Structure 1
Amino acid sequence: MAIKQTLAELGVDDQTLSTKEQLDQDGFFVVKSVLSRKSYTNMCDEFDQIHQVEGKQSGWEVHKEDEAIRLSNVLNKTTKSGDCLYSKSLLVAAYHLLKPDFKVYDLASPSHDHQRFYNDYGPAIPIGNNCVLNSLILLDPFTEDNGAT
């Protein structure tokens, strides 16, 4: 299905305001409890299962980090994590910043030191020529005790 058609069916268009306004003003936005309890539980269970199967090799597709459980290409390994892509706020942000050209990268684990958020676009780009949107889908509580700052 084409991205524009999918977005329209989900009610996402260029006129959706609250997420866009917060993103333009602050450069970020927070949405709590986006996933249903069932989706959240499925994602947590699947994350644990994939990590158990991959073991020390987990994350090899991108890179590994000491002390961090890192999984890559999760959306290609399971259908149970796809619900995170249907967050209306996330889709509004992606559409607003990138128009219909956006990609999915990888997942990182909290509470294991600093983990780089990066893109592969090279040198800085002019304001308004956005190439990437980072999102965090937090499966564990994000507190000062486990690494949040």
Structure 2
Amino acid sequence: MDMATALRDLGVSDDVLSSAEKEQLDRDGYLPLEGILSAEEVSGINKRLAELTAVEGDRAGLEVHQEKGTDRLADLVNKDARFEVCFSHPRVLGAMRHVLGEFKLSSLNSRAALPGEGHQGLHADFSHPVEPGAYEVCNSIWLLDDFTPENGATRVVPGSHRRGTMPGDEMANPADDHPDQILLTGKAGTVIVFNSHLWHGGTLNRTNTPRRALHAYFALRHLPQQLDQQAHIRVQTYNRLTPAQHFILAVTGTN
């Protein structure tokens, strides 16, 4: 199995993204893809996340990261077949190919900003700036609620993936507003792909309900994964997935 074969088997054609979509991803560093999940899929995912959060309790998210003021879950590859769409959807994988070329899933997690919480400083999901075009990581936010200005929608600074700097290099406090920032709002079921070198961060949830999302994070194939998929893959998960999906996860069998 190789990248081209895996993507072909998962339905990723050369025209899965339009030229305008590719140009927006290159220029702005983000691309909303509307209607990726149906209302029924969103509802089913939210129900399963609630079940997992209740079962895992104070251990929820420990496989990768816990964050005050949020409900987090990690290792979702192993926790329900309904999450497979996050590393298998042709449009999303086509965007990852456009940004990264040869890639693999790094982690699949959920994050729900709780009422009165969720604000983050602007940051990039990489330790240092890179040259434009030499990108190492790319993320996708799977909107499980409508993202609004009131409920903690992610903010980004368009084009900042091409600046060659980090937020702390230019801002006295990356938690402050940036004059060029915009909010990524949209309907539940939308997926927003964003170059992970783009400056971004969650905002404050000023509503009385959690703001829920999945994060399917991808990286170049030579990089360590945020969650070592090979070390965590379960027998039942491996057996239900296809060889192409195994390749995207960078797993070769079970321990």
TM over 0.5: yes
Pick 1 or 2: higher relative contact order, CA cutoff 8 A, min separation 6: 2
Q: 1:9 is aligned with what amino acid? A: D
TM-aligned CA deviation for residue 2 of structure 1: 4.8
Query: CA offsets per residue over residues 74-133 of structure 1, 9 Å max, x none?
Result: 1122212112333332111101111132223233224532247653x5322221111111
1:98 touches 1:131 (CA, 8 Å); kept in 2?
Answer: yes
Question: Pairwise CA RMSD of aligned residues?
Answer: 2.3
Distance in 2 (alpha carbons) for counterparts of 1:15 and 1:39: 25
CA contact under 8 A between 2:69 and 2:113: conserved in structure 1? no
Aligned ranges 1:23-34 → 2 under 5 Å = 23-34=25-36
> Which aligned pairs between 1:1-149 and structure 2 lie closer than 5 A?
2-14=2-14, 16-18=16-18, 19-105=21-107, 106-111=109-114, 112-115=117-120, 118-119=124-125, 121-148=126-153, 149=183
Q: Which protein has the bigger helix share?
A: 1
| In 1, Cα distance between equivalents of 2:76 and 2:124 | 18
**What TM-score does the superposition give when structure 1 sets the normalisation length?**
0.83
TM-score, scaled relative to structure 2 = 0.52
8 Å contact from structure 2 (residues 96, 138) kept in 1:
yes
Deviation at 1:57, TM superposition (A): 1.3
Q: Is the 8 A contact 1:85 1:91 kept in 2?
A: yes
1:146 match: secondary structure? coil
Output the amino acid matched with 2:110.
L
CA 1:140 to 1:20, structure 2 compared with 1: closer, same or farther past 3 Å? same
Larger radius of gyration: 2
1:3 CA drift (Å): 4.0
CA distance in 1 between counterparts of 2:54 and 2:124 reads: 26
Question: For residues 118 and 60 of structure 1, what CA distance do their matches in structure 2 show?
Answer: 22
Give ranges in structure 1 of 5+ residues lacking alignment: none
Alignment coverage as a number of residue pairs: 148
Identity of paired residues, percent?
32
